[in-house]
């Protein structure tokens, strides 16, 4: 939800967010990034993150995560008892300065402070270092694989429990995804937790498949493909959760998620986002209507 809602003009009322979380949970989702602890003047769309998080925490077995752009945000995540806080780092120095006003290594140092605060508080909130612009950057151009791997390792060394790699601006292709994720897995194993792709140039699902082949089994996505990056001109659309789930189920990968329920939820969410550009393909074509997909629809 977070990456979607922060990118659109609509400020979704809190009640609608809670209903979204409830329906996604009922459909089978067990990890949801519910918001971000940033100043409300910067992202009014996420000003109610504490309240949304409190609700998410009432759902048994749901891992409720939040984005925290800095130490101050992490303090709030710890106070509110988030299950997981995600600290974004941009492997592109130019993007890092523009987006976070810090160099990547300053973000690594911030993670060390966050880890110390977490430990001092005796909190069980997990820390994920999210390495963005891992496949290139609109500002800087190329981002060296070696630099991405170095920063990923530095985040873990600084105390992150896990890391993820993100194609923030839609520059990844399946070959580069497979190559980088295989190298990253070789370096840090299961602590490489998640892949985050945008569908900017139509390769979102191809990149998911490539990362899945490299051993990744967790993927970020947003219902209706909402989202993007305000600092990446032309970027549009996270991978759509419903399309991603359908692809994996169709491949025989059990996601635990009911695709038909997601499609119904998409329709309700879309109803509250009039005027926003939505994405995704499955909702237009619908689920396959025949014997081959009966098992899928019943699942």
Question: Known catalytic residues?
Answer: 229
Residue 78 CB, nearest distance to a second copy (Å)?
A: 38
Q: Is 181 an interacting residue with respect to a second copy (CB under 8 A)?
A: no
Q: Of the candidates 136, 149, 156, 226, which one interacts with a second copy according to CB under 8 A? A: 136
- Give dist(CA 95, CA 296) in Å, integer: 41
Q: With respect to a second copy, which residue has the nearer C-beta, 129 or 237?
A: 237
Q: With respect to a second copy, which residue has the nearer C-beta, 103 or 293?
A: 293
Residue 224 CB, nearest distance to a second copy (Å)?
A: 12
- Give dist(CA 78, CA 71) in Å, integer: 10
Phi, psi at residue 34, to the nearest 5°? -90, -20
Piece of the chain touching a second copy by CB under 8 A; list 20-28, 35-43, 75-83, 286-294:
286-294
CB count within 10 Å of CB 17 equals: 24
Three-class SS of 140-201: CECCCHHHHHHHHHHHHHCCCCEEEEEECCCCCCHHHHHHHHHHHHHHHHHHEEEEEEECCC
- Give dist(CA 2, CA 24) in Å, integer: 14
- Contact status, residue 141 vs residue 126, Cβ threshold 8 Å: no
Size of the site for a second copy (CB under 8 A): 45
Residue 290 CB, nearest distance to a second copy (Å)?
A: 3
Q: Is 285 an interacting residue with respect to a second copy (CB under 8 A)?
A: yes
Contact residues: a second copy, CB under 8 A: 136-142, 170-171, 173-176, 199-203, 205-206, 208-210, 234-236, 240, 243, 246-247, 250-252, 280-282, 284-286, 288-293
């Amino acid at each position: 939800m977070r990456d979607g809602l922060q990118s659109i003009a609509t400020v979704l009322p809190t009640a609608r967010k809670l209903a979204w979380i409830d329906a996604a949970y009922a459909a089978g989702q067990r990890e949801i990034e519910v918001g971000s602890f940033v100043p409300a003047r910067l992202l009014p769309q996420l000003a109610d993150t504490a309240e949304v998080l409190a609700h998410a925490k009432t759902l048994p077995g749901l891992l409720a995560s939040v984005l925290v752009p800095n130490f101050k945000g992490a303090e709030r995540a710890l106070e509110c008892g988030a299950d997981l806080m995600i600290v974004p780092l941009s492997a592109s120095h130019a993007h890092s300065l523009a987006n976070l006003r810090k160099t990547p290594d300053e973000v690594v140092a911030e993670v060390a402070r966050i880890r110390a605060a977490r430990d001092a508080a005796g909190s069980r909130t997990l820390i994920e270092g999210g390495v963005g612009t891992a496949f290139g950057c609109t500002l800087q151009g190329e981002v060296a694989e070696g630099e991405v791997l170095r920063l990923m390792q530095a985040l873990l060394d600084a105390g992150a429990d896990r890391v993820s790699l993100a194609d923030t601006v839609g520059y990844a292709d399946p070959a580069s995804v497979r190559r980088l994720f295989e190298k990253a897995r070789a370096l840090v194993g299961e602590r490489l937790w998640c892949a985050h792709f945008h569908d900017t140039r139509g390769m979102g699902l191809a990149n998911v498949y490539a990362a899945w082949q490299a051993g990744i089994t967790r993927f970020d996505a947003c219902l209706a493909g909402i989202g993007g990056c305000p600092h990446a001109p032309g970027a549009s659309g996270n991978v759509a959760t419903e399309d991603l789930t359908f692809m994996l189920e169709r491949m025989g990968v059990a996601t635990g998620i009911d695709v038909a329920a997601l499609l119904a939820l998409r329709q309700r969410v879309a109803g509250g986002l009039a005027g926003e550009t939505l994405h995704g393909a499955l909702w237009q074509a619908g689920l396959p209507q025949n014997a081959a997909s009966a098992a899928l629809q019943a699942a």
